Amino acid sequence: MFKSKRTTDIAITLLSIIAIFFLWNSIVLYPLKILVVFFHESSHAIATLLTGGKIISFEMAAQAGGQVISSGGNRFITLSSGYLGSMLWGVTIFSVAVATNVDRFMMALLGSLLIITSFLFSSNSFAILFGIIMGIAMLLSAKFLSMNINDSLLRIIGLTSMLYVPLDIYSDTIARSHLRSDAFMLAQEFGGTTIIWGSVWLFASILLIVLCFRWLFKTKK
């Protein structure tokens, strides 16, 4: 029974990755890419608050960009939390979908967090509207759709975040290291180079993905 479920989970994951790959530049994945940006900026905001800082503005753009302006807090942690934080969001969501039966609860929790974050932190209309609309959609999914459908949606959300993060890290910090990215600011304030910090985050994100898959799909002893 376990091997059968394990094989099914692996097959579903591979098919989902293939689908995400072919739909990467389509309008279908656009909302999910914006959601990953939301995870990224939310991670900055959460890290700022947890280290004693204050959120000045929380903005997102329709072009899949965003920024959090803050004061105080631990700069090393807040700058490092964006990419790695959104990776942890993806790993957590995907792991919950694969390893548990609380899919509807997880979907409702995500929807609630998006709405609350939008009201508490968002500074521009796009961020507010996206958070509220996506949050309501998640609450409706949790309420009216089956556990299997919520499970599939959570897997797609988690996988999209997990795949998007290393690609975004490479694009922003290695391929275009001249951009004023999180890694660029980290290099300015703590030394090193944008490419070095980007490479560290890229390695960490890929390692998290590998460990996640190994843990979820390992053979039961």
Q: Which residues pair with 57 in a beta bridge?
A: 69
**In whole angstroms, how large is the CA radius of gyration of the chain?**
18
The contacts of residue 132 (CB under 8 Å, 6+ apart) are 114, 115, 118
pTM listed for this prediction: 0.90
* Band of pLDDT at residue 8, cut at 50, 70 and 90: confident
User: What is d(CA 169, CA 175) in angstroms, rounded to the nearest whole number?
Assistant: 9
Which pLDDT score is estimated for 209?
93
Query: pLDDT band at 221, cuts 50/70/90?
Result: very low
pLDDT at 3: 59
- Give dist(CA 28, CA 49) in Å, integer: 33
Residue 51, both tokens: 């280290």
pLDDT in tens, 133-169: 999 999 999 999 999 999 999 999 999 999 999 999 9
Reported as a single tens digit per residue, the pLDDT across 174-212 is 998 888 899 999 999 999 999 999 999 999 999 999 999
Query: Does the structure show a pLDDT above 60 at 220?
Result: no
Give Cα separations from 206 to 13, 169, 211 (angstroms): 16, 11, 9
